[in-house]
Amino acid sequence: MLSKIQYISQGSTIQQQIDNITSVLEGGCKWIQLRFKNATSEEFLETAKKVKILCKKHDAIFIINDNVELVKEIDADGVHLGLTDSTIKEARNIIGFDKIIGGTANTLDDVLRRISEKCDYIGLGPYRFTRTKEKLSPILGLDGFQEIMNHIHLSGNHIPLYAIGGIEIDDIPEIVNTGIYGVALSGILTNKKNTKEIITQLNHITYANA
């Protein structure tokens, strides 16, 4: 069973990335997606190796954003692919069927495409405006999420969908009530002193409203 809470990492340096990820793991998060957009190849590799060790220590899933070759090189748990990144098929050919492959979606057509590509989970968003991502797709909001989830339920598909994009704690009960499987979070888990309390609260919300 996939964790219902994903942490998408933040940090402009290796140390910031490691510090933020360590804090979230120590707080009880069981899914890390390493996102380090402005890093050099060497910095990304160094960070990924360190994060893999941390995730293994905390029995957490370790996903790398975009970089399929790096997943293969360090034997991470999987990769998350944007709509303009490698295809699911290309990624499968590189890392095989025992790895997790997630895909981004912004519309119902994107979701159906991802399902047909047989990815393992879908990151659906953005829910609202967020500064985490530079080239933001059209905002879905709660109504957009509900409309897409209604179509997915009627089609009989059961792939886990994660809400993403500017989500705050108070948003999560309504988001989960749409049928969304879980949430992918960044800002509300980065550099928080009470990370453990927040993650405990998030787990209670997501599982209680499932």
**Domain residue ranges of the chain, discontinuous segments joined by +:** 5-208
- The fold adopted by the segment(s) 5-208 is TIM Barrel (3.20.20)
Percent of the chain beyond pLDDT 70? Answer: 95
Residue-wise pLDDT for 22-62, tens only, equals 999 999 999 999 999 999 999 999 999 999 999 999 999 99
Quickly tell me which residue has 């002193």 as its tokens: 193
CA–CA separation, 153 and 87 (whole Å): 25
* β-strands 31-34, 78-81 pairing: unpaired
Q: What are phi and psi of 5, to 5 degrees?
A: -120, 120
Please say whether the beta carbons of 9 and 184 come within 8 A: no
pTM, two decimal places: 0.93
Which residue, 106, 137, 138, 147, is CA-closest to 124?
Answer: 106
Angle at 41 between CA 84 and CA 165, to 5 degrees: 45
